[in-house]
Amino acid sequence: MEICSDLLIGQQTQAGSQGSTQSIEAASGKPLSPAFGGASAAQLDAACALAWQAADVYRELPLESRAAFLEKIAQNILDLGDVLVERCVQESGLPRGRIEGERGRTVGQLRMFAAVVRQGDFLGVRIDPAQPERQPLPRVDLRLRYVPLGPVAVFGASNFPLAFSVAGGDTASALAAGCPVVAKAHPAHLGTSALVGQAVRKAVADCGLPDGTFSLLFDSGLEIGQGLVSDARIKAVGFTGSRRGGLALLKLAAARHEPIPVYAEMSSINPVLLFPHALANRGAAIGTAFAASLALGAGQFCTNPGLVLAIDSPAVDAFIDAAATALAATPAATMLTPGIHQAYESAVAKLAQHAQVDTVAQGKEASGPAQGRATLFSTTAEAFSRDPALQDEIFGAASLVVRCPDLATMRDLVEKLEGQLTAALHIDEADQADARALLPTLERRVGRILVNGFGTGVEVGHAMVHGGPYPSTADGRSTSVGSLAIDRFLRPVSYQDMPDALLPDALKRANPLGLTRRVDGKLTTAD
């Protein structure tokens, strides 16, 4: 299959007329063809206009049509076959197995949201029926449902070229919520984006949906991304990337005539907390597992364990020794882009020179372009406490071990942490009292607390929170992974004393959709 470099403006394919851009083959550093023309301001405008036109139609389609559309996207992605996997491996430098797994996750997400849409609980229906006899005043009839916010801009993420890109979690949840999507491809995987974009475009046509339900734009600079966030027809933004990038989008969104929510996942160092009994009983095993989590995918995960807080004891050495041994045997890995690799190298070099930081382990020496070498550092609690820069995320397989003299110090350090996506506790039963003492702090600081595991490997389910207090995400009231992610793109509307003929089906008196609805505050499936 040829990769088409056209923008997708609804069903229209158009060559981008503003500059040109190419992805780089991660392993070789060489540019890949084709070159992709960047969207012009007029092309951006056309995509937003189509999305706006599509919004009212798309959102009121039967739930079954919306669900079938999501499933069709999944099937069309699978139908791309090996072309997609190969291109994605080329562009990302990630191993084939990982990309196949990520494709499975991407397809699985779309199917999960199809099931969520069919079930309809996300509509959050609430009904307070009229009470004409109430004294002193009759009660009106009130019926509430959630409606989609409107067109959503989705920014593809570099580190999940399938699962958090053109048809990834943000797109799937926005489409599931009933929002058209205008996606901006990440420059690191333009070919992957184009292929997936065509799969979505075809699904729109297959299902007979309005043209503007989906568009895909390439950007030769930053203008199109900025223009998207500023466009009055865009009503929300999904973004995963750097803190600098996320903050820039937040600023743009806040400066609009009508500010809009930006769901930006920005940075997290995902503390791993090591407790004495767990360390004493299996410090080495934890160290080995930690090294595997750290090096996974060249460390290019939002949930990468970038910080280890250990309550000091001789067993900490067993942990470090095992981690160091494992890392020393870990081959360097191709990073996503030359830019990411360069940023990683320079952050690691800077940390290595820090007067209070020791380099305790390194992965195998690297050769070839963009090879990232895992690195483990250590420092004291005092130094960590004193220098906030030691909390800065290093995107890649670098982590910092901090020895804490006692539990109180560990808690102090956690209190000083910025908001995080995850925290991982390694405990044995005898550590539970200590762990319990930390939970209130952790609940305030992180989105997911896990026990005896690592944050990498984010399960896509109903109970997942992949989110967390600022700055791990821009809006800690949300998750970007799992079925709850749909809530980001919805708002409630209440209908008072509306005749059945005008009510949406979800709110009609006979409950024709068979929904579970909250009637007078209690959930029921009755009409």
Candidates 75-83, 325-333, 406-414, 478-486; binding stretch for a copy of itself (CB under 8 A): 478-486
451, 502 in Cβ contact below 8 A? Answer: no
| Binding-site member from 449, 486, 513, 515 for a copy of itself (CB under 8 A) | 449
The only residue of 319, 476, 486, 513 in contact with a copy of itself, by rule CB under 8 A: 476
**Is residue 388 a contact point for a copy of itself (CB under 8 A)?**
no
How many whole angstroms separate alpha carbon 423 and alpha carbon 314?
Answer: 23
Segment 274-303, which members bind a copy of itself (CB under 8 A)? none
Q: Which is nearer to a copy of itself, 56 or 358 (CB)?
A: 56
Indicate which residues carry an active-site annotation: 265, 302
Tell which one of 435, 486, 506, 513 touches a copy of itself (CB under 8 A). Answer: 435
Instruction: Report, in Å, the least distance between residue 135 CB and a copy of itself.
Output: 12
The nearest distance, CB 65 to a copy of itself, in angstroms, is 17
Q: Find the shortest distance in angstroms from Cβ 142 to a copy of itself.
A: 4
Burial 393-429 (b: 16+ CB within 10 A, else e): bbbbbbbbbbbbeebebbbebbeebbbbbbbbbbbbe
Can you list the alpha helix ranges (DSSP code H) found in 178-232?
190-206, 223-230
Q: Which of 444, 509, 512, 527 binds a copy of itself (CB under 8 A)?
A: 444
At what angle are helices 82-92 and 190-206 packed, to 10 degrees?
150
Using CB under 8 A, count the residues that bind a copy of itself.
76
Q: What is the smallest separation between the CB atom of 466 and a copy of itself, expressed in angstroms?
A: 8
> Distance between CA 441 and CA 457 in Å, rounded?
24
Asked whether position 79 contacts a copy of itself by CB under 8 A, the answer is: no
Of 103-162, binders to a copy of itself (CB under 8 A) are 115-116, 119, 121, 126-128, 137, 139-140, 142-144, 147, 149-150
- CA distances to 213, 310, 435, 452, 495 from 426, rounded to whole Å, are 45, 10, 9, 5, 50
Dihedral sign, Cα of residue 377, residue 381, residue 382, residue 386:
positive
- The first and second tokens of residue 349, run together, are 């070099």
Query: For the range 520-526, what are the long-range contacts, defined as Cβ-Cβ under 8 Å and sequence gap of 24 or more?
Result: 520/127, 520/128, 520/129
Tell which one of 249, 315, 446, 506 touches a copy of itself (CB under 8 A).
Answer: 446
Residue 502 Cβ, how far from a copy of itself at the closest point, in Å? 6
CB of 501: closest distance to a copy of itself in angstroms? 6
Question: Could you tell me the two tokens for 285?
Answer: 């095993």
Query: Among residue numbers 33 through 72, which ones bind a copy of itself (CB under 8 A)?
Result: 56, 60
End-to-end CA distance of the chain: 51
Tokens of 503: 């009510």
Query: Within its chain, how far is the Cα of 407 from the centroid?
Result: 32
CB 454 within 8 A of CB 426: no
Contact status: 439 vs a copy of itself (CB under 8 A):
yes
- The residue from 33, 281, 356, 496 that contacts a copy of itself (CB under 8 A) is 496
- Residue 473 pairs in a beta bridge with 265
Q: How far is the CB of 460 from a copy of itself (least distance, A)?
A: 10
Would you say 39 or 94 has its CB closer to a copy of itself? 94
* Torsion, CA 320, CA 324, CA 326, CA 331, rounded to 10: 150
Binding status of residue 430 toward a copy of itself by CB under 8 A: no
Q: Which one, 60 or 505, has the nearer CB to a copy of itself? A: 60
Q: Find the binder of a copy of itself among 492, 509, 514, 527 (CB under 8 A).
A: 492
Name residue, tokens 């949930």. Answer: 303
Tokens of 326: 């494992």
Q: For residues 211-250, which are near a copy of itself according to CB under 8 A?
A: 250
